[in-house]
Amino acid sequence: MTSLSGRALRLTVYIGEDDTWHHKPLYSEIVHRAHAAGLAGASVFRGIEGFGASSRIHTARLLSLSEDLPVAVVVVDTEERVRAFLPQLDELVDEGLVTLEECEVVRYVGRGPGGTDPKGEKSS
């Protein structure tokens, strides 16, 4: 497991839910590449409404069709590792927004073997 504490960089990739890479969801490809690159972690968040450079509003409201909702892929790791990952995003992301923000990691602890937390208690 990657160790991470203190100063870090947060990479956020804003794309559409329907964006693909070789017939696979783009957000999934980004997460799998981040994992293969040994980054500390990645999460995908689905938005309920938003717009981007095209100025077209995408929404999940009941009276509208839920199509191409906004998705944010967030990766946090050291500046060196995040910046080393950026060339892969250049290959993957044709449309969207990519941002970098400095952040501070206060706690980064994974589950132990068998789904237990570091104190040996069963995780839910």
pLDDT number for residue 19: 95
Give residue-wise pLDDT tens across range 34-85: 999 999 999 999 988 888 887 777 777 655 566 788 999 999 999 999 999 9
Amino acid 122: pLDDT: 56
Res 9: pLDDT: 97
pLDDT at 118: 55
Burial of 54 (0-12, 13-18, 19+ CB in 10 A): exposed
Q: Which of 70, 63, 27 is nearest to 47 (CA)?
A: 70
Nearest CA among 73, 68, 67 for reference residue 92: 73
Nearest to 26 by CA among 81, 89, 84, 100: 89
Q: Which pLDDT tens digit goes with each residue over 73-123?
A: 999 999 999 999 999 999 999 999 999 999 999 988 887 766 555 555 555
User: What's the pTM?
Assistant: 0.81
Q: Alpha carbon of 40 to those of 23, 69, 70, 121: distances in Å?
A: 26, 26, 24, 23
What gap in Å lies between CA 123 and CA 86, rounded to an integer?
34
